[in-house]
């Protein structure tokens, strides 16, 4: 959510930002907010004046009663009663207008960074850099769930009977590999100074609306019936929510957390779930990272964070590239975002495995996450998040890039960095 002071002082900046995101249908919202804001400030001034008058009249009543002039005091009391009614109406109107403004402001997109390329959708995202050279396979790579099946590592049929489409059982060495990747990612981030966290897996509605747009919430979140609780779709929401309505001393910054959690997603919309594979599903597990920092440090942290993802994937012998998301592909709260994509030998292309985002002060403004500077001045923090690994997609990239075939049996090479988490195994071998 942007600062309303910016909208008041330079609405053209807000309008141009809306155009840059190809959301022209939101342009009328700028004038609507300005109109409501004028009315709201008028209501506030009226309420302030009525309060001052009430206080003044109350003092007069006290003075008159002290003099024994009860009749005059009663007349002024009647005035106070009438003004109190007007004040109550003005306060109600002020509350209503403030809420209307807040609801509209939450739908106006955040101001994107000047470096973000202008484009309509993800087809216009720009490749930034490649890391590692994809090696052509000397044999045909099976589909990822077929690879898992060769190691007795997946059972989607049983999961379908238990929970329906979008779920799976992982078994044996493949399940162990899944857990090993998460444990390795956890320690990888701890070694880089992040504090490990296991957060709540449900969050209240005020946290949900603080960390994401309404469109994202509708497409992603599962609501707990009869409770003000939602299952998390990603743990950064719960971790950012940890700081709701807090004031942190500037000396404590940056706050750097890495978390493990299961994630639950409706996958509602154009993509839907993937029936055959595990690329897009209703439940998965994830290691995440977040940073809460001073505004002037957020771009440095942005570059560090996507760099950590590249480093981790390369340590597991997986070629990756970074893509800069164009303006039309940025969610409304984001200032800047990179996708890290892993190479798929099966598909002969890269696919998304991590998303690193700088949200500026948008989440902090919604959630009331403030910083106290050395001079005592309070300001909103900047927040960032990035996937460390999400094993369903990581498993796809890992298995395809580390798969070997001797003409009879398949095996999966275990990179050195992961071997301590796999009981020292150097390979998984098809039985």
> Which residue reads 């409770």 in tokens?
227
Q: Taking Cα atoms as reference points, which of 78, 295, 287, 73 lies closest to residue 197?
A: 287
Q: What is the largest CA-CA distance in the chain?
A: 110
For residue 271, pLDDT beyond 70: no
Structure tokens given for 73: 């005091």
Contact 197, 261 (CB under 8 A): no
Looking at per-residue pLDDT, the higher value among 213 and 385 belongs to 385
User: CB neighbours (10 Å) of residue 332?
Assistant: 21
Name the residue among 408, 376, 383, 412 with its Cα closest to residue 397: 412
Would the CATH topology of 4-105 be identical to that of 122-429?
no
Give the rounded distance of the alpha carbon of 315 from its chain centre: 26
Please say whether the beta carbons of 36 and 4 come within 8 A. Answer: no
What confidence category does residue 279 fall into, taking pLDDT thresholds of 50, 70 and 90?
A: confident
Least-confidence region, from 9-13, 39-43, 273-277: 273-277
The pLDDT confidence band at residue 278, using thresholds 50, 70 and 90, is confident
Domain boundaries in the chain? 4-105, 122-429
How far is Cα 27 from Cα 426, in angstroms, rounded to an integer?
A: 58
Report phi then psi at 157, rounded to 5: -65, -45
Task: Name the region of 171 (left: φ>0; alpha: ψ -120 to 50; beta: rest).
Answer: beta
Query: Among candidates 309, 385, 257, 365, which has minimal Cα distance to 1?
Result: 365
The H or E element spanning position 371 is strand 369-372
Report the DSSP pairing between strands 378-380 and 369-372. antiparallel
Architecture of domain 4-105: Orthogonal Bundle (1.10)
pLDDT the model gives residue 90: 82
pLDDT band, residue 272 (cuts 50/70/90): low
Q: Tell which wins on pLDDT, 409 or 271.
A: 409
Q: Minimal CA–CA distance to 237: which of 321, 62, 130, 359?
A: 359
Q: What pLDDT is attached to residue 267?
A: 78
CB 271 within 8 A of CB 280: yes
Rounded mean pLDDT of 28-49? 91
CATH for the stretch 122-429: 3.30.930.10
In the structure, what pLDDT confidence band is assigned to residue 84 with cuts at 50, 70 and 90? confident
Residue 118 phi, psi dihedral angles, 5° rounding? -85, 125
CA distance 392 to 181: 10
Distance CA 261, CA 283 (A): 11
Separation between Cα atoms, residue 121 and residue 302, nearest integer Å: 22
Three-state secondary structure of 209-222: HHHCCHHHHHHHCE
Whether 281 contacts 144, CB under 8 Å: no
Dihedrals phi, psi of 241, to nearest 5 degrees: -60, -25
What is the DSSP code (8-state) at residue 276? S
DSSP state of 141: P
Nearest to 194 by CA among 290, 113, 278: 290
Residue 223 makes CB contacts below 8 A (sequence gap 6+) with 229, 230
Q: Is the Cβ–Cβ distance between 110 and 333 less than 8 Å?
A: yes
pLDDT score of 359 more than 60: yes
The values of phi and psi at residue 368, to 5°, are: 75, 40
In this prediction, residue 61 carries a pLDDT of: 72
Q: Looking at residue 188, what is its pLDDT?
A: 98
* 242 half-sphere exposure, CB direction, 13 A CA radius: 20
Which pair of tokens denotes residue 263?
């994630």
């Amino acid at each position: 959510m942007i600062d309303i002071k910016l909208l008041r002082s330079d609405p053209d900046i807000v309008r141009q930002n809306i155009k840059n995101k190809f959301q022209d249908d939101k342009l009328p919202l700028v004038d609507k907010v300005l109109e409501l804001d004028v009315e709201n400030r008028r209501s506030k001034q009226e309420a302030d004046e009525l309060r001052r008058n009430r206080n003044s009249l109350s003092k007069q009543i006290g003075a008159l009663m002290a003099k024994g002039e009860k009749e005059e005091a009663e007349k002024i009391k009647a005035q106070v009663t009438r003004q109190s009614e007007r004040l109550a109406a003005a306060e109600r109107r002020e509350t209503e207008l403030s809420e209307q403004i807040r609801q509209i402001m939450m739908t106006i997109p955040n101001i994107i960074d000047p470096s973000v390329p202008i484009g309509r959708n993800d087809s216009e995202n720009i490749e930034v850099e490649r890391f590692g050279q994809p090696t052509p396979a000397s044999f045909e790579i099976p589909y990822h769930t077929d690879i898992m099946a060769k190691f007795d590592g997946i059972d989607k049929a049983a999961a379908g009977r238990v929970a329906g489409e979008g779920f799976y059982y992982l078994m044996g060495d493949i399940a162990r590999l899944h857990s090993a990747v998460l444990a390795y990612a956890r320690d990888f981030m701890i070694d880089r100074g992040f504090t490990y966290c296991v957060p709540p897996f449900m969050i209240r509605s005020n946290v949900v609306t603080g960390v994401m747009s309404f469109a994202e919430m509708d497409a992603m979140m599962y609501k707990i019936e009869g409770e003000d609780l939602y299952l998390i779709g990603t743990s950064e929401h719960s971790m950012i929510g940890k700081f709701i309505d807090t004031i942190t001393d500037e000396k404590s910054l940056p706050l750097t957390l890495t978390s493990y959690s299961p994630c639950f997603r409706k996958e509602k919309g154009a993509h839907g779930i993937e029936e055959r594979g595990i690329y897009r599903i209703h439940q998965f597990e994830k290691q995440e990272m977040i940073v809460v920092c001073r505004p002037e440090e957020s771009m440095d942290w942005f570059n560090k964070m996507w760099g950590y993802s590249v480093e981790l994937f390369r340590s597991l012998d997986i070629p990756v590239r970074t893509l800069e998301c164009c303006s039309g592909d940025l969610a409304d709260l984001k200032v800047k975002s990179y996708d890290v994509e892993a190479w798929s030998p099966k598909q002969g292309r890269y696919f998304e495995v991590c998303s690193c985002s700088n949200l500026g002060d948008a989440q902090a403004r919604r959630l009331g996450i403030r910083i106290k500077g050395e001079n005592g001045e309070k300001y909103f923090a900047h927040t960032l998040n990035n996937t460390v690994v999400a094993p369903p997609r990581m498993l796809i990239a890992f298995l395809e890039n580390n798969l070997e075939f001797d003409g009879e049996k398949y095996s999966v090479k275990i990179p050195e960095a992961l071997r301590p988490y796999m009981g020292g195994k150097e390979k998984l071998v098809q039985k």
